[in-house]
């Protein structure tokens, strides 16, 4: 995980808390790490940036940065999108300044079922 992405996780955790989510897990020190998901065809592991529950539904919060590998981001987002469609919950694409258009492109081009949220 890039250093810049890691620096946005506390901002996302605060947003998640303000929205009333519980059982928050974050891929950072001081929090329980979210459950990792593994693709069966190539054994690649994906760990969500932040997860939280609201009304018993698990939601995922992914920080989207345009410097990250688009293929890896899309693979991770498709997996998380599939999980929320099967189990309920929501997928949020958390976009720091300067990354909004990149996130919109991903959602449109790859039909990702996620809600884009601007963060500071």
C-alpha 106/C-alpha 113 separation (Å) is 10
Tokens of 87: 């189990």
Backbone angles phi, psi at 21, to 5 degrees: -80, 150
- Residue 44 banded pLDDT, cuts 50, 70, 90: confident
List the one residue out of 63, 73, 72 whose CA is nearest residue 98: 63
Domains and CATH numbers, the chain: 3-118 (3.40.1350)
pLDDT tens, position by position, 55-105: 989 999 999 999 878 888 999 999 999 999 988 999 999 999 999 999 999
Is a pLDDT exceeding 60 seen at residue 2?
Answer: no
């Amino acid at each position: 995980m890039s250093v810049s992405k890691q620096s946005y996780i506390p901002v996302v955790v605060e947003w998640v808390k303000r929205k009333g989510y519980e059982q928050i897990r974050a891929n950072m020190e001081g929090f329980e790490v979210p459950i990792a998901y593994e693709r069966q065809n190539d054994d690649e592991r994906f760990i969500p940036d932040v997860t939280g529950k609201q009304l018993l539904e698990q939601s995922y919060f992914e920080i989207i940065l345009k410097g990250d590998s688009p293929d890896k981001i899309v693979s991770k987002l498709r997996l998380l999108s599939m999980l929320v469609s099967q189990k309920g919950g929501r997928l949020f694409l958390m976009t720091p300044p300067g990354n909004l258009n990149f996130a919109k492109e991903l959602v449109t081009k790859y039909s990702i079922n996620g809600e884009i949220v601007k963060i500071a």
